[in-house]
Structure 1
Amino acid sequence: AGLGLIVLEVSTRAGMAVTAAEDSVFAVRMGDYARRAATDSADRFLHGLAHLAVAALAFPRPEDLADDGYIGRVTVNGVDSFVRQACRRLEERAEEQGENTDPATGAPGLESAWRVYARRSATGATKDARRLAGSTTGIVGKALAFLVDSGFLQRTGDESGGTYRTTARYQLQVRDMAATAAMAELLELGVVPVSDGSATLLPPDEGDDLDLVADA
């Protein structure tokens, strides 16, 4: 309690897994993350969106998040595609409702981020075909690398911009955050992944079960 840590589980599969309370000295804030990941501080919100998408893509169904033996798999390109489909869904929803499709800076929720992400280049343009750090795949790649360094993911290959598998510790962390408003809002869009780490859209009536992930 004095360290501001919350024990999520003590087991042979995860060891002692803890998460930090907001006021803990061990809490990783976006400012700290930006310094550790060498990112542009102006892109912190987009990095947060990338982390949110990785969690939703790694454990798309309630049963996946509840199953201790489940291993999620994600790719850099798959996560980027997932977020871009969410951006398109948000744009369609705003247009249908006649809302301002260019939200003011600082607006709450995902609505304030979708247009910024959608406008950003997926890979950028360099002479040697490397992705730029400020491109959306560059942002996703840094988010995934950070999770690897933190013991939450394991890199398994280079396909699709980089492939990764989840660890027991990451599953516990996602369970802890699954009831947050941001996770619920993303899942309610009906953007759902498939097992190879790419993304697709299901008809609305087939995506209703995803809302349950927010209660897992």
Structure 2
Amino acid sequence: MTQIPDFSFERAALSRGLTRIAGVDEVGRGPLCGPVVAAAVVLDPARIPEGLNDSKKLSPKRRAVLESLIKDSADWCVAEASVAEIDTLNILQASHLAMCRAIAGLRRPPDHVLVDGNRLPKALTVSAEAVVKGDGRSVSIAAASILAKEARDRLMVDLAQQYPGYGWEKNAGYPTQDHLRALLNLGITPVHRRSFRPIHNILCQGVSITR
């Protein structure tokens, strides 16, 4: 049976007297380049867009429609952590940094946060819970996953125009065969993550590209 995100996590928090529930998710932990992007969304229970789901399960056209509906009906913020921050902190901590920035950017602070995954950012100062596979279980996290993915995909299309030949407009910076081949042929760009093994191996010279 296919699971569809619902409002049960939010409803449970509301029943405890919490009134502003934010869903938070990130996109871009796996790519070899570009920032990691996070979004925070506080849905209006009376105006939840229909069809919210894990962004990976939606077509690009449907994601674009839902992105517009979410932005029109909810309090939301999209934020990122840079390549330099990823290389300095590590990808997990940079992801959590982007999440905290997205939460801080909401028009009004939430009093409870639903975070996709099994770990909470240590810097969170509000009530929060980690929801494993939350983008497929909570509509608020699903909404955040849609905003984060749409924002990062657009960013990678822009970067693909600055650094052509790596296929980022299609692979979003993930280590596809075309991307790995381009690394060998074209070299490393300023937006590649030097702490990631394939990039580190090239910098060490003569080491094969593997993950």
- Normalising by structure 2, we get a TM-score of 0.31
Q: Which has the larger radius of gyration?
A: 2
* Higher RCO (CA-CA < 8 Å; seq separation 6+): 2
What is the TM-score normalised by the length of structure 1?
A: 0.30
More helix, by proportion:
1
